[in-house]
Amino acid sequence: MSAPRPLLRGRRKAVNALALGLASFATLLGLVVLVWILGTTLIHGAAALGPHLITQMTPPPGAAGGLANAIFGSTLLVLVAVLVGAPIGVLAGTHLAEYGRAGPFAELVRFVNDILLSAPSVVIGLFVYQIVVRPSGHFSGWAGAVALGFILLPVVVRTTDETMRLVPISLREATLALGAPKWRMITQVIYPAARVGILTGLLLGIARISGETAPLLFTALNNQYWSMDLGHPLANVPVVIFQFALSPYDSWHSLAWAGALLLTVFVLVVSVLARTLLRGRTN
Amino acid sequence: MQTVMQQVSVAQPSRPAPSAVPAARVASAGARGDLIFGGLARMATAFVLLVLAGIALATLIGGWPAFARFGASFVARTAWDPVQRDFGALVPIYGTIVTAVLSMLLAVPIAFGIAIFLTEVAPRPLAGPISAAIELLAGIPSIIYGMWGLFVFVPFMADWVDPWLAASLGRLPVLGALFSGPPLGLGMLTAGIILGVMVVPFVAAVMRDVFTLVPSALRESAFALGATRWEVVWHVVLPYTRTAVVGGIFLGLGRALGETMAVTFVLGNAHDFNLSLLAPSTSIAAAIANEFTEADSATYLSALIALGFILFVVTFIVLVFAKLLLLRLARQAGR
């Protein structure tokens, strides 16, 4: 840095003010877009809200209807995805934190897991199409749930690994010194200690998969009728939004907005909940 | 017995294993439990590796008929004719790259600004809530961005931005080709801007996190020499975190390349090659999402899956590069 000659000082101050001003402006821009998107969704979505959303099925073009089958289908898909993906994710996270630690295998898995975390969800949909839909011959709820499970998996692996590594080593030493085998130490001491963090990871994962659309297009597809059968195409909110929003019908548009509002509120509430839990733990 | 002893010593290598003699009976039951539990955990971990390999393999196999039929020229041809079953990937590849690059041109400066604001400008009580608000932006599902793009941002571009661009930059001799055509509001520019908005929170979060890793002694000594806040950022913070900042940018690029719903709504799904950023186009992800359920021949389906394979390979390379850069700073900071 040059010596602070008086002439230069004014210029440097001006550059500083300009740069910090632009930085503040960039932040303002981000907040404006956030308000713009949320505001649009709220205004259009609130206008279409009503009890019909949860009592009626998705309608054919021009007719009145709701989202009951789609809301149920989405709930089912997410639930099954969590039941399938979460145990595998927690176990893998456990292995990384308790068995692998800093070894080269664990480092490789962490690396691969981080890649999976950012992998395009549309490709994961194609993957599940190849391994589930194509062999079985038809689109199905199971395929959709598996696709969502694959997206949930890396989120759970990462948060489980990270929170379990935060559990103090002295807890492990105390348990082992009492003669407990390692698996008892993990299930009865480490899991309870890391409970909040693991739960946070699950919530973040649920927030992530609830809005996923692309992978469901080639797996669960859609279903105009009420169905509880995971063996067949299953209605779900994201794909309904996609199809209705791109249609030329006003009644479908308004249902798409209603679905968008429900989805956004659900996802944001879950992720805020997750963050609040996380903050409670670190404080 | 042996396994218990071994695993105890793995968990705490620097300490002698506690004597397990008084608990021999319990220990043998424990050994079996450890074998089962540890085995399950190891299988789950291997499963993570398997998923990544499976994605690459399944999309390669699914796309193989297309690769075999069209050869290497698949990626270099612009044909996309479902009737003649003649497919080339150049237009979607071009659309993917152009929208991703546009999004980064927009997102990187804004994310940098937000990171500076959060770490240098904002007073403590303000930084937390603003940080959370920006992270909310990352939490909004991409289909919501798509809807907002289609119903709000596309008309905004068509009414205000596109006509103005066509009338000003569109008149320039060479550059003009990029901004010609009717103001539809759809196209690569709109898609690039929406992608940029989506990517900003990811890049900003990485930059903010790595900026806080700079040792305060470094920053303080620069301040003590009389540097302004901007000079500290530019001459101290940025050089120290350079590799990680680039890593964060590539992480954002990886997201932008693979993002589907947000661009599918606003690209217009046109397979005609067009230089103009204002003309309807398509991207790999948008083509797959739009056409997959309409693919009426095995070749068509295979061409779409082949596109998916190409997308996976490209994002994989970008993400690996990003992670390697981020790991370098993490090591440097001694974490």
Per-residue pLDDT tens for A119-150? Answer: 999 999 999 999 999 999 999 999 999 999 99
Q: Confirm whether A7 is domain-assigned.
A: no
List, in order of start, the domains of chain B with CATH numbers. 67-334 (1.10.3720.10)
Distance from CA of A87 to the nearest CA of B (A): 9
Query: Average of pLDDT values for B289-305?
Result: 93
The CA distance from A36 to A19, in Å, is 26
Average pLDDT across chain B, whole number: 88
CA distance A45 to A155: 30
pLDDT reading at B14 higher than 50: no
- Judge whether A194 lies within some domain: yes
> Residues A164-185: what's their mean pLDDT?
92
Average pLDDT over residues B64-92: 92
* Residue A143 covered by a domain: yes
Residue A186 falls inside a structural domain: yes
For residues A254-264, give the mean pLDDT. 96
B136-172 CB burial, b ≥16 within 10 A, e <16: bbebbbbbbbbbbbbbbbbeebbeebbeebbeeebee
Residue B12 has pLDDT above 50, yes or no: no
Residue B16 confidence (pLDDT) = 45
This prediction has a pTM of: 0.91
Residue range of the domain that includes A113: 52-282
On whether residue A57 sits in a domain, the answer given is yes
Nearest CA distance, B195 vs chain A (angstrom):
13
Residue A282 pLDDT level (bands cut at 50, 70, 90): low
CA nearest to B259 within chain A: A120
% of chain A with per-residue pLDDT over 70:
96
Amino acid occupying residue B19: S
Q: Looking at the domain assignment, is residue A127 inside a domain?
A: yes
Q: Does the pLDDT at position A105 exceed 50?
A: yes
Per-residue exposure over A199-216, b if at least 16 CB sit within 10 Å of its own CB, e if not: bbbbbbbbbbbbbbbbbb
Range 2-41 of B in CB contact (< 8 A) with A: 4, 7-8, 10-12, 15, 18, 20, 22-23, 26-27, 29-31, 33-34, 36-38, 40-41
| Residue % of chain A over a pLDDT of 90 | 85
Look up the ipTM and state it.
Answer: 0.92
> Smallest Cα–Cα separation from B314: which of B254, B274, B246, B266?
B254
Whether the per-residue pLDDT at A247 is higher than 50: the answer is: yes
List pLDDT tens digits, range A43-75: 999 999 999 999 999 999 888 899 999 999 999
Residue B6 token pair: 């071994």
Domain count of the fold of chain A: 1
Averaged pLDDT score across all residues of chain A: 92
Contact B243, B333 (CB under 8 A): no
For the stretch B150-174, pLDDT in tens is 999 999 999 999 889 988 888 888 8
> What is the CB-side half-sphere exposure of residue B258 using CA atoms within 13 A?
31
B80-81/B86-87 β-pairing: antiparallel
In CATH, what number is assigned to the domain containing residue A273? Answer: 1.10.3720.10
Q: What is the pLDDT of residue A127?
A: 97
Q: Is residue A15 part of a domain?
A: no
Contact flag B311-A120 (C-beta cutoff 8 Å)? yes
Alpha carbons B166 and B162: distance in angstroms, whole number: 6
d(CA B129, CA B111): 17
Taking CA atoms, what residue in A is nearest to B15? A173
A125 belongs to a structural domain: yes
DSSP notation for B78-100: --EETTTTEE--HHHHHHHHHHH
